[in-house]
Homo-oligomer: A and B are copies of this chain.
């Protein structure tokens, strides 16, 4: 029997944001792999093997998914949000590059609603104009690269979505990121803290960057820094489509 590997995005949390394409893939799977909290979102059923794993095990997990698929299993590797945005798809292709024996495995990538889109929708339309997405985790890139990108993003007047702003192992990075943006003249910009978006624990908070404090974010928070024209109307925050 010929196996396959589907790399699927579960969306930000709410089951109503899982695409029918992903639901169909999960219904046909023999094995589901992923970081344990994401695997826990997959409805169990008879004949479906669940393989939860720890965080930071991305390459090992990708290799295991490829091995199972090569053995003839119908494997779905799940990510939160979209699998192509700071998630498992890149890890699979990295694993594939080091393991030529798996080059013939049939692979599909199924997109999902990534956190910044769900956060933006809850807040209004802060990504309605040009924007960028920066992963603040420095596990895989040096901090000076992050600083440089923040400065250039501010100069370009992008709205800035910040993924993984803060964790216990590197609590200081996000505060430094806020300082860099203040130094770049962004103190008056609006900042949206979207915590656990689309889940029962959702909390959305909007402040001026000058009033933003590092502890407003944790690893379940997606932060969006507005561009210089981003404005509030009632409870909504949006980027006007027109720019000068």
Partner-B contacts on A (CB < 8 A):
11, 14-21, 24, 58, 82-87, 89-94, 96-97, 103, 107, 109-114, 117-118, 120-122, 124-135, 140-142, 145, 148-149, 152-153, 155-158, 231, 233-234, 236, 238-244
Please name 13 pairs of A and B residues whose Cβ atoms are closer than 8 Å in the assembled complex, sorted by A: A16-B19, A17-B111, A82-B121, A84-B126, A86-B129, A90-B129, A93-B236, A94-B240, A96-B236, A111-B113, A111-B118, A132-B132, A140-B243
A94 and B241 in contact (CB under 8 A), knowing A14-B21, A20-B20, A124-B109?
yes
Report the separation of the CA atoms of residues A138 and B161 in the bound assembly, to the nearest whole angstrom. 23
Cβ A120 vs Cβ B111 within 8 A = yes
A70 → chain B, closest Cβ, in Å? 15
Residues of chain B lying within 8 A (CB to CB) of residue A244? 141-142, 145
Report the separation of the CA atoms of residues A11 and B86 in the bound assembly, to the nearest whole angstrom. 20
Cβ A241 vs Cβ B91 within 8 A = yes
Cβ B89 vs Cβ A128 within 8 A = yes
Residues of chain B lying within 8 A (CB to CB) of residue A87? 128
A59 → chain B, closest Cβ, in Å? 9
Cβ B130 vs Cβ A121 within 8 A = no
Cβ B85 vs Cβ A128 within 8 A = yes
Residues of chain B lying within 8 A (CB to CB) of residue A18? 19-20
Nearest B residue (CB) for A25: B16
Residues of chain B lying within 8 A (CB to CB) of residue A158? 132, 149
Residues of chain B lying within 8 A (CB to CB) of residue A58? 241
Which of B126, B133, B243 makes the CB contact (< 8 A) with A145? B243
Residues of chain B lying within 8 A (CB to CB) of residue A20? 15-18, 20
Cβ A121 vs Cβ B111 within 8 A = yes
